[in-house]
Amino acid sequence: MTATDVFSWQSIVAPGNGPRAGVLATPHGMVETPAFIPVGTKATVKGILPATLREVGVQIVLANTYHLALRPGADVIRQLGGLHTVMGWDGPILTDSGGFQIFSLAAIRRVTDEGVLFRNHINGDEMMLTPESAVAVQNDLGADIIMALDVCPPYPCSRAEVEEAVRLTLAWAPRALAAHKREDQALWPIVQGGVERDLRQRCAAQLVAMNFPGYAIGGVSVGEGHEHLKAVVGWTAPLLPADRPRYLMGVGEPRDVIASVAAGVDLFDCVLPTRNGRNTCAFTFDGVIRLRNEVHRTDRRPIEEDCDCPACRDFSRGVLRHLFAADEMLGPILVSTHNIRFFTRFFGRLRQAILADRFDAEVQGLLDRYYRNG
């Protein structure tokens, strides 16, 4: 048995470039694409029960290799029954490689040809993450989809820095392939190259030649802004095989999502729903609502009239504002839940628009409504 026997991506509409709808099959279930992946960094989507994730339409979740390797450790998770058991989640799981921490923890790491030496942010110990150990950790964690270690350069940075990130990403990919031991997990690489078109092309071409079962686009949403992101994804997505899933890492702003779905991307993850939810910001199809504002003090309306999430069913904006003001944990839980439901509804609308062959018209309406207040 090989990864292609237990994983597949089947196109329903537009198998090539441009907006496409499909179904991703994994050992733990199917994912209808385009789809959103909530982030559960430390093996939990902050404050949200797994049953609630299912209730609000989540199909697949993400966990973080670097953080779980530090605490509780991949061996502990394996002994506890694997990541699905630890998360209490029986659906598909994707784990990232730890490569994003090369970007986000730049002050406590050193990159070499061998791998990345981190200064453990918990106790100060050193931890070496290599292409081989990143795969070994993820093999122990037991996620359905795992990522090859890459180097994510910041924006802005010099062309030489981006070239070095691409060089290491390409050098590490075959090492990750050689280290991968589980046929019930799909290993995907990550295309890097910053905002340099020729480097994106080089990275994509060499990774595609290695024949992975799926591909990710990384190194965006790191400060480059919407127009650069749109251009990078527009260059890169068509370079990836039309019969494989395409995953854009760390992107959740609606206009960025729409531009990327238009370019042929299938999967997205982002911390925005829960991070914003913990900070009183609720996503709606009319834009973001800041529940801390005084205008909501006695507002008896739900966050969104047509939303079926637990927050909108049972609580008003005024009550939610009170929960935050009183520092009650229920406030962040409810707004985070609503935000995740917003994203599953948003992606559902994108999928339906593709299936109905009305993508351009529908998304223009979504954009006009969401951003009409600036």
What pLDDT tens digit does each residue of the chain (374 aa) get?
355 557 899 988 877 789 999 999 999 999 999 999 999 999 999 999 999 999 999 999 999 999 999 999 999 999 999 999 999 999 999 999 988 888 888 888 899 999 999 887 778 788 899 999 999 999 999 999 999 999 999 999 999 999 999 999 999 999 999 999 999 999 999 999 999 999 999 999 999 999 999 999 999 999 999 999 999 999 999 999 999 999 999 999 999 999 999 999 999 999 999 999 999 999 999 999 999 999 999 999 999 999 999 999 999 999 999 999 999 999 999 999 999 999 999 999 999 999 999 999 999 999 999 999 87
* Residue 286 annotated among the catalytic residues of the structure: no
- 3-state secondary structure string, the chain? CCHHHHCEEEEEECCCCCCCEEEEEECCEEEEECEEEEECCCCCCCCCCHHHHHHCCCCCEEECHHHHHHCCCHHHHHHCCCHHHHHCCCCCEEECCCHHHHHHCHHHEEECCCCEEEECCCCCCEEEECHHHHHHHHHHHCCCEEECCCCCCCCCCCHHHHHHHHHHHHHHHHHHHHHCCCCCCEEECEECCCCCHHHHHHHHHHHHHCCCCCEEECCCCCCCHHHHHHHHHHHHHHHCCCCCCEEECCCCCHHHHHHHHHCCCCEEEECHHHHHHCCCEEEECCEEEECCCHHHCCCCCCCCCCCCCHHHHHCCHHHHHHHHHCCCCHHHHHHHHHHHHHHHHHHHHHHHHHHCCCHHHHHHHHHHHHCCCC
184 is catalytic: no
Angle at Cα 214 formed by Cα 34 and Cα 112, nearest 5°? 120
Amino acid 71: pLDDT: 94
CATH number of 3-270: 3.20.20.105
pLDDT of residue 74: 95
* Domain spans of the chain, in order of start: 3-270, 277-370
Active-site choice (144, 198, 269, 314): 269
Q: Which of 96, 140, 150, 266 is catalytic?
A: 96
Give pLDDT, residue 100.
84
Q: What is the structure's pLDDT at 304?
A: 98
